[in-house]
Amino acid sequence: MPHGFGIVGCGMISNFHAEAIAHIPNAELVACFDMRAEAADKFAEERGCKAYHDLSEMLADPDVHIVTICTPSGVHLDPAVAAANAGKHVVVEKPLEITLDRCDQIINACEKNGVKLATIMPSRFSEANMALKKAITDGRFGKLTLGDTYVKWWRSQEYYDSGGWRGTWKLDGGGAYMNQAIHNVDLLYWLMGDVDQVCGLTDTLAHERIEVEDTGVACVKFKSGAVGVLEATTSAFPGLLKKTEIHGTKGSAIVEQDSILLWTFADETPEDEEIRQKFAAQGGTGGASDPKAISFVGHQKQFEELLESIEAGKDPVVDGYEGRKSVELILAIYQSSWTGQRVELPLPKDPDNPKKPAE
């Protein structure tokens, strides 16, 4: 019997979830729900599933085993908790939520109900990034010294004007960091380890009628002693491929999107040249200028890993706690930018943290 999925929220990102599910042999999209009945009906007709106009009715459907949350970022909490309370496994599109308190409520609800929780971070499932992670785990870089990541994308004014929630603190939770660069924030955590402190600068430089940042830089110090830089923007025309650079006393590597531009170590192995050839320039834009240009493959791999975790009775790789980390670091960047001070992690468990000063 296939794992039955139900999607909550039938906007743009739901199509990537649906496409990923369609490519998994032991998975099936059986239901969808949206606050706008016409959106749910249209999505259901296109995707061949049942449309629900009442969330509680979809959650009562015995054929729905897993619920994926595709609503705007600031309204992930209620449907995620409702799904957990209904005994469904929960997948939440990034970010997990927009405050730590709301993240914790989702995590607690899933733990209380004994269901799995996964946060969508498909960049971890890129083969190039997985090769990079293995090299770090194997100690090939020696002592890690620098870990940098850059997301220099472009979004038009029309992009922000296209939805009332875009560019708002209440529903988007942030700008270039929280919406676009969060994948690479997660990657840097995954690759370099936990962060000790951060110093950030953010501003809105290229867009109108938005509350959040479209440009930001941050310096981080990791608990290991290594340092790094996180750059995020939607104001760099025409949009560049995202890039991650890892450096240590015995090696350096640069990954651009899903390609490896640099892979060099003091102690070379026969596999290194194979890796360089395998991950030579792959092409594609990766959503650098068009959010619809991303691939569904990362979602597919993450869904497949979730299904394996459910069947094995273990937690998925990117569970709620892992999803919370990137939110915490981004909130710390915002806090640093607004106060002009370094911010230490972990942040206090304040439901409104951080608090933007009144202008």
Is there a single domain that holds both residue 173 and residue 92? no
For residue 194, give every residue at least 6 positions away whose Cβ sits within 8 Å of its Cβ, in sequence order, or none.
Answer: 222, 223, 325, 345
Percent of the chain's residues with pLDDT above 90: 91
358 has a pLDDT exceeding 60 = no
Dist. CA 57–CA 316, nearest whole Å: 27
Is there a single domain that holds both residue 334 and residue 194? yes
Is residue 72 situated within a structural domain? Answer: yes
Per-residue pLDDT band for 348 (boundaries 50, 70, 90) equals confident
Is residue 355 situated within a structural domain? Answer: no
Is there a single domain that holds both residue 284 and residue 151? yes
Per-residue pLDDT band for 356 (boundaries 50, 70, 90) equals low
Q: Tens of pLDDT along 316-328?
A: 999 999 999 999 9
Is residue 345 situated within a structural domain? Answer: no
357 has a pLDDT exceeding 60 = no
Is there a single domain that holds both residue 62 and residue 140? no
Is there a single domain that holds both residue 70 and residue 148? no
Is residue 349 situated within a structural domain? Answer: no
Dist. CA 188–CA 328, nearest whole Å: 13
pLDDT in the model for residue 286: 65
Is there a single domain that holds both residue 181 and residue 273? yes
Per-residue pLDDT band for 8 (boundaries 50, 70, 90) equals very high
Count of domains observed in the chain: 2
Is there a single domain that holds both residue 9 and residue 130? no
359 has a pLDDT exceeding 60 = no
Which residues constitute the domain of residue 101?
Answer: 3-122+296-318
Q: Tens of pLDDT along 194-211?
A: 999 999 999 999 999 999
Letter for the amino acid at 340?
G
The total number of residues shown for the chain amounts to 359
CATH number at residue 279: 3.30.360.10
Is residue 234 situated within a structural domain? Answer: yes
pLDDT in the model for residue 353: 61
Is residue 166 situated within a structural domain? Answer: yes
Q: What is the gyration radius of the CA atoms in the chain, in angstroms?
A: 20
Is there a single domain that holds both residue 308 and residue 269? no
Q: Tens of pLDDT along 55-101?
A: 999 999 999 999 999 999 999 999 999 999 999 999 999 999 999 99
